[in-house]
Chains A and B, each alone.
Chain A
Amino acid sequence: MTDTMTASLTELCSASNTELRMLTDPHALADLLAEALDFTEGIAPPTALLEDGRGFTLADGVIAATGSVVLTGRFPDARRVAFLAETHYALAAEEEVHRDLATFLAAANAAGWRSRVGHHVTFITGPSRTADIEKIMVLGAHGPRRLVLGIAPLALLRPLFGDALDSRRKGSS
């Protein structure tokens, strides 16, 4: 990712109340995983929903133009986690930051849409929110109150997610 892309993503995430973390070294990544799902060693699960409301998903990418997290049907539980968690931690690979919605859709369609994304694609921009009372923005309407988005290079993710990541790469090729 270029510096300008990072800067623009930072601004967009701040506007949508997404807590963006650029994870450039293994320690930062380890910290995020520990915070999100008490993970310390071994192979991390691609999704998890903890009793205390923390939820984790390995995302299918990020849309740079809007700062949105992309989840697909590849990991069966992702959608449930994304809506039921109190805090949703999403982790995406830097190599899977798509310029905008149009480029993502075009690529997914070219890759055979349904076989690429499964039974859904869910774009998530910020924590759940409402402005139904006097147009005052309240975070945490029905879904997560916080959305934490970590972006790390694929090389850092590969040793931690192993097969899960590989199956995904195959699907998207």
Chain B
Amino acid sequence: MQVRLFIPCYVEHLRPEAGLATARLLDKLGLDWCCPERQTCCGQPAFNAGHRQAGLPAARHFLDRFRGEGDIVSPSGSCTAMVRRYHELPELSDGERDDLRELGAHCFELSDFLVNRLGVTDPGARFPARAAFQDCCHTLRALGLRDEPRRLLAAVKDLELVDQTDTECCGFGGVYSIKVPELSIAQANVRLARLKEDGIDTLIATDVSCLLHIQARADATRQTLRTMHLSEVLAPIGQAAEVMP
């Protein structure tokens, strides 16, 4: 069955590398995949801002694009978590609600998909770096994925992963980052201070949004930082040829 690639809007426009690396990874694993065209936004900004109704068109559009058989995989825990909640939206017909619940059950964040759906814990990557992993709140708590990304990273050759598991939310939080910017920034400062303390300049995560936020603060304060989406570490450019058996 074909795997469908779900490209969140901020990956589409702000960090395409994460989507491209996910595609490379699917190729590398020899999977039959496709990417539905005309994807938009999952609607989370409206949903999380308290305008649930405004998320309705997004859910219906998503259903239209992804209806059918096969897993949906996305390089974002946050958007996946949104898709899994579509069935809670108001004013859905019973049929739509069932369809959306079904759709949510087949939508997976990348590490979840690899480890729990495919049973792949070592996609055979090499990534020479000393790095920390950022637990993105939605991946960690909404989807309950704590070990999955860590298992994948532990298998990456030449990657030294420094344990920073007790860190807090980076302070992005969607609309929160602009509604209460002082605090959002203060939270990023805590994260950056921790990286500096451990002498780390590479940060890996399952969500581009958190990384964009932390990177933005690092750049504004001239702290050297390279942020990488998990997929970019698992399928670095130039390694796509080493196809897994």
Is any CB of A less than 8 Å from a CB of B in the complex?
A: no
